[in-house]
Every structure is written in structure tokens, then in C-alpha cells.
Amino acid sequence: MSEYNLHFNYKDIFLAPRLALSPKKIWVFIFGNLSGYIAYWILSYLSLVLSGIEINEAISDYGLFPCLYGNSAPLISWSIYYAGIAIWLFFVLISSTAVSRITFRQLKGDNFYSANDALDFVMKKWRSVIFAPLSIIFIILIFFLISLLIISLFER
């Protein structure tokens, strides 16, 4: 197993497509994205049905990308709809991390690192995958709230 020699200049541009366009990585991301989309699709149509729209009418109106916006719906429908979005985002983050792990191992020289090994690794580390973006959003929100507090204090 040989490691890739990275030069960190223009020569690495020609290595990038060979690393990125492997069928294993494309399959892992497609599988993750499609799984998340199916969960979003089911929960979105469930939220549309709970808001009082007939399922046949909803399918004919929205097709493959249902959306609750523009409809008056109870809180439970909105909760289910946003849960579908969160689940889709969770699957995309998990599959992106698995693809990153496969690429990392490939750069280390392990060309036979399997998709199942990557998914096992990600399932062990799923808390880091989810809570890292949430922490960044939380920190940005704290800075925004502090700036609003300072602005409101200086306006007096």
C-alpha cells in the first residue's frame, strides 16, 4: 500500500478527479442522499395529509418535492415537516463524512477500505458529525445576540 505523494501545487489538480470520482464514494453519497430524501418525502406528505390536504391532490400538486410552505397547517404538521428536513440533513452529513473517511484512508494508502467500514466508523462518531455544525451555529447565534445587546445599550 503506497501513500499518495501530495505536492500541494498544480500537480495535485490532476490527482483530484481520480480520488473524487471513484464509484464507491459516489455510491455511498447517493445512497445516503437518497435515504434522507425518502424519509423527507414520506414525512412531508404525512405533514400535508395532517394539514387537511388529500394525498392524491398533494401528489398531483407537488410531485417528487413536496413542500408545506404556502399552506395553513397546524403545529404538528410543521413539526413533522421540519423533522423530515432534519433527517435528510442528518443523512447527507453522515454520507459526506463516510466519503471523507474513504478518501482519507485512500490518501493513506488503503485503497481497499470498504464503504461498510466507513459507515461503521461514522456510526461510532455520529455525535461529532451532528454536533459540530450545531455548535458553530450556536456560537454564531451567541455572537449575534451579544452584538444586538451591545447595539441596544449604545442606542440609549
Cell numbers given for 95? 454520507
Q: CA–CA separation, 154 vs 108, rounded Å?
A: 54
Cell numbers given for 136? 458553530
Q: CA–CA separation, 50 vs 60, rounded Å?
A: 17
In tens digits, what is the pLDDT along the chain, a chain of 156 residues? 457 777 888 888 888 888 888 899 999 999 999 999 999 999 999 999 999 989 999 999 898 899 888 888 899 999 999 999 999 999 999 999 999 999 999 988 888 899 999 999 999 999 999 999 999 999 999 999 999 999 999 887
pLDDT of 21: 85
Q: What residues does each domain of the chain span?
A: 22-124
Question: What is the pTM for the complete model shown?
Answer: 0.84
pLDDT of 68: 87
Write out the DSSP string of the chain: -------SSGGGGTTHHHHHT-HHHHHHHHHHHHHHHHHHHHHHHHHHHHTT--HHHHHHHHTTS---TTS---HHHHHHHHHHHHHHHHHHHHHHHHHHHHHHHHHHT-TT--HHHHHHHHHHSHHHHHHHHHHHHHHHHHHHHHHHHHHHHHT-
